[in-house]
């Protein structure tokens, strides 16, 4: 009994196909397809790569309600090779911030923000354990 993990994070989007392209082509997630949720509602579930059997999912939920652009990050995505991802996204014309680096007692961090098609700011962060550098 009790909560075990996040099952899925639901993100409202204005244009489903456009958002699927951003999250799959830009961020490298895998979309399992567009789902008809009834009543004219549609959604799409995306997997992080590689995806373990019981990993959290990202679900894009199409809505015709206005979506407010975010002025700060609501969550971040842990990634590998943040520098390479930043360069690729910049080359492909995505709106990205400058790279930031900082250290904590546990990790070296490399991160940046990217804006999704609905104006939502997302943070991408690479965390390299300090013991790797010892």
Write out pLDDT tens, residues 106-121: 999 999 999 999 999 9
Please tell me the predicted confidence (pLDDT) of residue 1: 66
Residue-wise pLDDT for 72-100, tens only, equals 888 899 999 999 999 999 999 999 999 99
Q: Which CATH number belongs to the domain containing residue 48 in this structure?
A: 3.10.180.10
- Pick the residue with more confidence: 134 or 35? 35
Q: Among the three residues 51, 67, 83, which one is the final residue of a domain in this structure?
A: 67
Same domain, 132 and 74: yes
The per-residue pLDDT of the chain, averaged, comes to 90
Give the lowest-confidence range in 49-58, 76-85, 99-108.
49-58
Asked whether residue 15 carries a pLDDT value surpassing 70, the answer given is yes
Same domain, 79 and 124: yes
Same domain, 2 and 60: yes
> Which structural domain, as residue segments, surrounds residue 128?
68-134
Same domain, 60 and 97: no
Same domain, 101 and 48: no
Q: Among the three residues 67, 100, 119, which one is the final residue of a domain in this structure?
A: 67
Same domain, 28 and 81: no
Q: Among the three residues 67, 99, 115, which one is the final residue of a domain in this structure?
A: 67
CA distance 72 to 123: 9
Please tell me the predicted confidence (pLDDT) of residue 134: 55
- What's the predicted TM-score (pTM) here? 0.86
Please tell me the predicted confidence (pLDDT) of residue 30: 92
Asked whether residue 53 carries a pLDDT value surpassing 80, the answer given is no
Same domain, 127 and 86: yes
- Kindly state the percentage of the chain with pLDDT values over 70: 95
Residue 50, classified by CB atoms within 10 Å of its CB into exposed (0-12), middle (13-18) or buried (19+), is exposed
Counted domains in the chain = 2
């Amino acid at each position: 009994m009790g909560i075990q993990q996040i099952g899925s994070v639901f993100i409202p989007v204005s244009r489903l196909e456009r958002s699927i392209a951003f999250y799959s082509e830009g961020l490298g997630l895998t979309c399992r397809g567009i789902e008809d949720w009834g009543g004219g509602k549609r959604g799409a579930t995306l997997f992080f790569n590689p995806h373990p059997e019981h990993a959290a999912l990202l679900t894009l939920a199409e809505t015709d309600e206005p979506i407010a652009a975010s002025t700060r990050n609501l969550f971040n995505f842990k990634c590998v090779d943040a520098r390479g991802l930043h360069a690729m996204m910049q080359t492909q014309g995505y709106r990205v911030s400058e790279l930031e680096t900082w250290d904590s007692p546990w990790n070296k961090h490399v991160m940046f923000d990217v804006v999704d098609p609905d104006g939502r700011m997302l943070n991408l962060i690479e965390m390299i354990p300090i013991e790797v550098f010892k």
